[in-house]
Amino acid sequence: MSALLTATCAVPAAGAVLTAALPAGATEARRRTTKTVALAVSAVTLALAAVVALRFDPHGARYQLTESYSWIRSFGITFSLGVDGIGAVLALLTAVLVPMVMLASWHDADPPSSPANGQEGSSPAAPDGTVDPDTFERRRRTQGFFALILAVEAMVIVSFYATDVFLFYVFFEAMLIPMYFLIGGFGDRAGGPDSARQRSYAAVKFLLYNLLGGLVMLAAVIGLYVVAQDQGFGTFDLPALTNAVADGSLKLSGTAQNALFLGFFFAFAVKAPLWPLHTWLPNAMGEATAGTAVLITAVVDKVGTFAMLRFCLGLFPDASKTFAPAILVLSLIGIVYGALLAIGQKDIKRLVAYASISHFGFIIMGIFALTSQGQSGATLYMVNHGLSTAAWMLVAGFLISRRGSRLIADYGGVQKVAPVLAGTFLIGSLATLSLPGLAPFVSEFLVLVGTFTRYPAIGVIATVGIVLAALYALLLYQRTMTGPVKEGVRSMPDLKVRELAVVAPLVALTILLGVYPKPLTDLVNPSVNATLSQVHRTDPAPAHPVAATSGGEQK
């Protein structure tokens, strides 16, 4: 039994403990050591996640590199890990983004008065470079910030690899804790005089919404165990349960299956987030640092959409078909609603947040269209949205850190003083509106095609989201990057080497996967086909098949 998956999860977890245990970062040298250690740990995790993806055989078993260790025997709970194509791709996405987030957030936990930070602040620094612990170190220690990022990475990767329902639930909920502290304790410094209260509000709202979803899911997890145990399946093992549901040996009544499906789906829809359970996201992304905002929308939220594929469709196939039309309507509302509100935003980061709500509507629509194109597109969308939104948000963060304001009206003419920053921001904007040749176009096209083949009306209306995306993305670029140079922008520096090291790989991947997505589709398509077979769905036949021919003549 290979321990590769355990190692991939354990490295960032151990790195989080190690980073947190390092000496307090009261001097620049100590802070640099902490950051270097955390970055090195994330690089090792990336290497391990890449090995997992490379060792996964698309033509092999559904779950590979499996591991299982006894945990709570009396309830049939095990620490079981296994990877399918979708989990391998999303874990790799997480491992790619975390080092980028760390580099982008290199000075986010520095004292406001630190020379490296380059910002004014109220925390007084002593001549030797130390900072009064009562004003800063107790709340914003560098090692705490980077340890929390590694903790989130470890928990998210476990969630993508977990093949025990209870194990998944534990880490699905546990990741809320480090995210709460990242939002509330290390928020955006450009939020104004009331930023501390706003950060606290955003963090509490994030936690309460997701805890409510988790409590509902816990009830559903317990209900699933009770129903399964009554029929001789006293286990939380996901492959065993899904196989038993598929072959009919585990029979769930229509009422029980619908109730359990709704319990699981509610928790995943909160985390995704799906309209109307989305309202925590703009607050959280707006008040968090740019790096933390990327963790929220590009990493943590993907656990919700991933779980819809793995748990909702696998465990409750009939209920998934029953509720699919209603979920598609909610997704459609989310697509249009998120895009419309993005157009009207005055805050750059909240605009990106509402754009993400619209994008998650496309992802969920692709999942519940229950077609191979839709689900392949939804899985690719998870990856492509993660890359493109990470690039867009991180460049926006670099922009905001230079000007000290999140308001769109405070910018103008940036492309004349910082052309590289403006150019990378343009690429992120074009990726967000799914320009052909960039990665999101492929996934959005597949989602729309897959939805149209089964639900043509919804597929047609969803295209409105593409038009609205062009509006909010290009209007944001026009208002911030073009026109006369605003007074506060004249001395704005262009991207530095560290910042280019963050943005360049994300831009390169966005272009590469837009031109050649085959490596990803080869990995995820077998898992998508297996999921469709579990819900007993096949792609609809064309409405106008090619006329039959006989003797070489068309009849």
Please choose, from the candidates 131, 112, 129, 109, the residue with its C-alpha nearest in 3D space to the C-alpha of residue 121. 112
Please choose, from the candidates 164, 188, 134, the residue with its C-alpha nearest in 3D space to the C-alpha of residue 240. 164
* Predicted local confidence at residue 76, as pLDDT: 81
- Note the pLDDT tens digit of each residue in 32-65: 888 899 999 999 999 999 999 999 998 888 899 9
Helix, strand or coil, per DSSP, at residue 82:
strand
- Give me the amino acid identity at 213: G
Taking residues 523-532, report their average pLDDT: 85
pTM above 0.85, yes or no: yes
Tokens 């360049």 sit on residue: 504
Q: Rounded CA gap, 284 and 184, in Å?
A: 9
Quick check: 338 and 469 in contact, CB under 8 A? no
Q: List Cβ neighbours of 553 (8 Å cut-off, separation of 6 or more).
A: none
Other Cβ atoms less than 10 A from the Cβ of 455: the count is: 24
Other Cβ atoms less than 10 A from the Cβ of 363: the count is: 30
Q: List Cβ neighbours of 141 (8 Å cut-off, separation of 6 or more).
A: 24, 25, 109
Taking residues 417-443, report their average pLDDT: 92
- Note the pLDDT tens digit of each residue in 331-379: 999 999 999 999 999 999 999 999 999 999 999 999 999 888 888 999 9
Number of helices followed by number of strands (H, E) in the chain: 24, 4
Q: Give yes or no for a cis peptide into 111 (omega within 30° of 0).
A: no
Q: Give yes or no for a cis peptide into 526 (omega within 30° of 0).
A: no
Question: Angle, nearest 10°, between helix axes 372-403 and 518-534?
Answer: 130
- For the ranges 274-283, 336-345, 522-531, the lowest mean pLDDT is seen at 522-531
DSSP 407: B
Give me the chain's average pLDDT, please. 86
Please choose, from the candidates 276, 297, 275, the residue with its C-alpha nearest in 3D space to the C-alpha of residue 286. 297
Q: List Cβ neighbours of 181 (8 Å cut-off, separation of 6 or more).
A: 144, 148, 203
* Predicted local confidence at residue 267, as pLDDT: 94
Helix (H) / strand (E) element for 83: namely strand 77-83
* Predicted local confidence at residue 422, as pLDDT: 92
Please provide the size of the chain in residues. Answer: 555
